[in-house]
Amino acid sequence: MNSQHLPSFSLDGKIVVVTGASRGIGRGLVDALAAAGATVALTARSSDEASTIAAQVVAAGGRASGHVMDVADVGSINAAFDDIAQQHGRVDVLVANAGLGANHPAVDVTEADWDDMMDVNAKGLFFTAQAAGKIMLEHGSGRIVAMSSQASLVGIPDHAVYCASKGAVNQLVRVLALEWGPLGITVNAVAPTFIYTPGTAERLDDPEFRRGVVDRIPMGDVGTIADVAGAVIYLASDAAAMVNGIVLPVDGGWTAQ
């Protein structure tokens, strides 16, 4: 058997940065990436949270380090990547997961609502990718996986700002893929549907709300963190070496309609 023709999904030896790692999808991604063999440099806004999660990963047999980062603050982003590069020597993969979600009717959106969402979801994503990209460009290789949303691909009532911010993520991914692909760095996004997490449980445990969501998903259920992690690990791995500039829905078919 010729092993060069077999795809590898292993992340052994890879330094993987995960932003927004303190809860929800980000927290689950930390465990999944560590289980795939990565050394996870996880970030959170709180030093205590970051160090506690890193210690939990190590106690479970994985490799991790915790770092402070507020993606709404470019200075904080750059300082965190300086710290990560000093500790690990390089960055092989960025999983730009940090994001803000909120819903309000368009007529009720304030300037602060707009600025808060765009600062995290659009500006934060760009400058996080830029900081990681600078390190990756020095080594001539890397993977960037941005967390988008099905809301970037279809309109969802009462989510005008969120949809706009995630649409911006998709366009940034495409442009960065064109600029950095020839230099050895792939840039892609994962676009999940409603995912059951501790943060979404309150809404998704409401039978009426859940039924309204599930009725839109041909697979007949909401997603899990493991569903998202599978897509992220694929795009982060050597198996996806020729995948660049895509937005991969993990939505049970919602956006196929």
* Range with lowest mean pLDDT among 1-5, 64-68, 113-117, 156-160: 1-5
Task: Output the average pLDDT for the chain.
Answer: 96
Q: What is the pLDDT of residue 30?
A: 98
Q: What is the pLDDT of residue 3?
A: 64
63: in domain: yes
257: in domain: no
Q: What is the reported pTM?
A: 0.96
Q: At 49, give phi and psi (nearest 5°).
A: -65, -45
Q: What is the pLDDT of residue 121?
A: 98
Residue numbers of the domain that contains 169: 11-196+224-249
50: in domain: yes
162 included as an active-site residue? yes
CA distance 152 to 255: 10
Which helix (H) or strand (E) covers residue 65, if one does? strand 63-68
Q: What is the pLDDT of residue 102?
A: 87
Q: Are strands 15-18 and 93-96 parallel, antiparallel or unpaired?
A: parallel
- What would the mean pLDDT of 215-227 be, rounded to a whole number? 96
CA distance 120 to 1: 47
For 36: left if phi > 0, alpha if psi spans -120 to 50, otherwise beta; the answer is alpha
Which pLDDT tens digit goes with each residue over 94-107?
Answer: 999 999 998 899 99
169: in domain: yes
- Token pair, residue 47, equals 């030093």
End-to-end CA distance of the chain: 41
CA distance 109 to 49: 31
CA distance 224 to 92: 26
134: in domain: yes
208: in domain: no
CA distance 235 to 191: 12
State the pLDDT confidence band at 2, using cuts at 50, 70 and 90.
low
CA distance 16 to 144: 10
Task: Please tell me the total count of domains within the chain.
Answer: 1
DSSP state of 24: H
State the pLDDT confidence band at 242, using cuts at 50, 70 and 90.
very high
State the pLDDT confidence band at 5, using cuts at 50, 70 and 90.
confident
| Strand partners for 248 | 190
Which residue is catalytic, options 81, 126, 162, 254? 162
CATH number of the CATH domain containing 159: 3.40.50.720
* Range with lowest mean pLDDT among 3-12, 158-167, 243-252: 3-12
201: in domain: no
Asked if the model's pLDDT at residue 203 lies above 80, the reply is yes
187: in domain: yes
Asked if the model's pLDDT at residue 254 lies above 70, the reply is yes
Q: Are strands 142-147 and 247-250 parallel, antiparallel or unpaired?
A: unpaired
Which pLDDT tens digit goes with each residue over 35-75?
Answer: 999 999 999 999 999 999 999 999 999 999 999 999 999 99
